[in-house]
Structure 1
Amino acid sequence: MEVEMNEETLKSAGAELLPDGRRGLRIHGWEIESLHGSILNSLALQQWEEKLQTSHLPEMVFGDNALVLKHLSSDTKIHFNAFDALMGWKQEGLPPVEVPAAAQWKFRSKPSQQVILDYDYTFTTPYCGSEVISRDEEKQQGADADLDRETSLRWENCEERIDLAALSLKEHILFYDEVVLYEDELADNGVSLLTVKVRVMPSSWFLLLRFWLRVDGVLMRLRDTRVYCVFGKGETPTVLRESCWREATIQSLSAKGYPMDSAVYSDPSGISQRLPVIKQTTQKLKIPQKS
């Protein structure tokens, strides 16, 4: 993907790079930044397990990775991170996917023992992002639980849809990045992957949060969340969020004439339209005015 990051192009679009070597830019009142770090070490993993009240986490958790979008004048922050996503996994608590080879899988938490799969080892999450209206430190120190709840943003269900035609128009991409939040290869029996991609154009920003699951020979699951904001002139920004969950067993796909070989399904973009939709919602967020 070609990205226009030269100073002249950014300036003509009303954008500027973030200072101090940070990855991202400021444009039309938004600050968009991607953060990249290493995989959690054993001590950090133990701390996360305690906080999440679990003894199981994905093989690779990128705890310092994040995508953060801040609307500066309203202190609104929309962000994406692994911890909140895994909190969603823990709360949803799906039953484990039945796999013929599951009884022989050996997970790193107990490498010398066969593990009873009594939890969702696919780490499927309903997570579609985190958001808050930031408050300065003094206000946060005096905030009570009710005030904390008031700082959450309010998404409303709507009939509007993201304008995919507008997104397909040829326009300079000022910034693009992909952030991996966590990944697990399911003991070489598939893949579980959560990523978020963002691109910023002169007219808008757009992101895709994608959970992709392939359990070889058994199941494919795709949970996509697309978020889109068009830059307005002097208007209160509106953000659209579409979530679409798709899922199918390999057996049901085979019955429709699709191949059984899991190698065919390495790219979720190529298979997504073959998977039936099981849940779809569209929501709208009007960025609140700062009081």
Structure 2
Amino acid sequence: MEEHLAIAKSAGAELLPHGLRISGWQIQSNKHPILQSHAREQWEKKIDTAHLPEMVFGESWLDLIHEETGIRIHFNAFDALLGWKEEALPPVEVPAAAQWKFRSKPSQQVILDYDYTFTTPYAGSEVLEPSRTQVEMEVTPKETNQTLRWVECEDCINLVALQSKDPILFYDEVVLYEDELADNGVSLLTVKIRVMPTCWFLLLRFWRGFPSDSSAYGDPNLIAERLQITWKVNEKLSY
């Protein structure tokens, strides 16, 4: 612990209760147990659905705030499931589906007319909060006509920088939700963060695996190189 504190201090970082502050960024994460029945019912009403993943870590989150600009990037299960609901993808047709049509309500026939894999286009929740300067001047982003938007670009992630031997000042992996699809596969949404003295790297990944290889389907890292890229886009956050 003392060694970690010394490394963080030498990099100009300040440890926070759930993360750290470095180079004008506050980076924090928090992990909690899955939602209990009462909270699940509230989520179902708000999202307007009778279906949620088996394990929803509703109070778990990852948060990044750029203090100078007020840019806040937040990752949470609720917004991700809102994205799933709005996407309204058709159900995936798999042979096993017929075997677990009754899993939600054994006393009633359940029609799988929704995407039970919970596939989401969610890429994070970004907002523009008052920056330090705006607070001092008592103005808000609305008054300055500042808005956040993602725009396509040619820039790519600097993989060389990621492969450097810089010390990792902070690392965490937060599971947002998971469903084992009645032992017929897995749907998993996770977000990982790695903070180094010169940069931070974040990976939000939705994974849908099928247990053709029971030793590998639960670990996307084991088969990621075998998958063909069907769509790729580079974007940057602008305001």
* TM-score exceeds 0.5: yes
Distance 1:170 1:211 in 2: 28
Q: 1:201 to 1:4 in 2, by over 3 A?
A: farther
Query: Which position in structure 1 is the counterpart of 2:236?
Result: 284
Conservation of the 8 A alpha-carbon contact between 1:59 and 1:185: yes
Q: What corresponds to 1:204 in structure 2?
A: 199
Q: Would the aligned equivalents of 1:5 and 1:174 in 2 still touch at CA under 8 Å?
A: no
Does the 8 A contact of 1:104 with 1:114 survive in 2? no
1:130 is matched with 125
C-alpha distance in structure 1 between counterparts of 2:7 and 2:64, whole Å: 21
The answer on whether the counterparts of 1:157 and 1:282 sit within 8 Å (CA) in structure 2 is yes
Could you say which residue in structure 2 is the equivalent of 1:31?
A: 26
- Are 2:1 and 1:15 equivalent residues in the alignment? no
Q: Distance between the aligned counterparts of 2:107 and 2:146, measured in 1?
A: 47
Cα–Cα, structure 1 residues 4 and 74, in superposed 2: closer, same or farther, change >3 Å?
A: farther
User: Does the Cα contact within 8 Å between 1:36 and 1:66 map onto a contact in 2?
Assistant: yes
Distance in 2 of aligned mates of 1:271 and 1:265: 8
Q: Deviations over 1:72-117 (max 9, x none)?
A: 1221100100001001101111111111121220565313334211
Q: Is residue 103 of structure 2 the alignment partner of residue 105 of structure 1?
A: no
Q: What SS does the corresponding residue of 2:116 show, helix, strand or coil?
A: coil
The AA in structure 1 aligned to 2:220 is P
Aligned twin of 2:218: 266
Match of 2:4 in 1: 6
User: Pairwise mapping of residues 24-173 of structure 1 onto structure 2 (< 5 A)?
Assistant: 24-106=19-101, 109-135=104-130, 147=142, 152-173=147-168
Q: What SS does the corresponding residue of 2:234 show, helix, strand or coil?
A: strand
Matched, 1:176 2:174: no
Cα distance in 2 for residues equivalent to 1:184 and 1:80: 18
Residues 160-185 of structure 1, C-alpha deviations (whole Å, 9 max, x = no match): 11011210111100000000100000
**Following the alignment from structure 1 to structure 2, what is the Cα–Cα distance between the partners of residues 86 and 56?**
10
AA matched with 1:9: I
Aligned to 2:187: 192
Separation (CA, whole Å) in 2 of partners of 1:280 and 1:4? 42
How many residue pairs get aligned? The number is 229
Change in CA separation of 1:107 and 1:178 when aligned onto 2, cut-off 3 Å? farther
Q: Which letter does structure 1 place at the counterpart of 2:112?
A: L
Q: Which has the higher contact order (CA 8 A, sep 6+)?
A: 2
- 3-state DSSP of counterpart to 1:176: strand
CA RMSD after TM alignment: 2.2
**Superposition deviation, residue 6 in structure 1:** 2.0
* 1:13–1:107 distance in 2 versus 1, CA, 3 Å: farther
CA distance in 2, matches of 1:43, 1:108: 20
User: For 2:146 and 2:44, how far apart are their aligned partners in 1?
Assistant: 27
Q: Which has the higher strand share?
A: 1
Is the 2:61–2:76 Cα contact (8 Å) retained in structure 1?
yes
Deviation at 1:38, TM superposition (A): 1.6
Q: In percent, how many aligned pairs have the same letter?
A: 63
- 2:81 aligns to what SS in structure 1? helix
**Matches of 1:275 and 1:60, distance apart in 2:** 26
- Under a length normalisation based on structure 2, what TM-score does the superposition of the two structures give? 0.89
For 2:108 and 2:99, locate their aligned partners in 1 and report how far apart those are by CA, in whole Å: 10
Shift of 1:37: 1.3
- Output the amino acid matched with 1:279: W
Whether contact under 8 Å (1:16, 1:25) holds in the other structure is yes
Distance 1:27 1:77 in 2: 15
Q: Give deviations 1:224-262, integer Å, cap 9, x for gaps.
A: xxxxxxxxxxxxxxxxxxxxxxxxxxxxxxxxxxxx534
* Structure 1: runs of 5+ lacking an equivalent: 140-146, 217-259
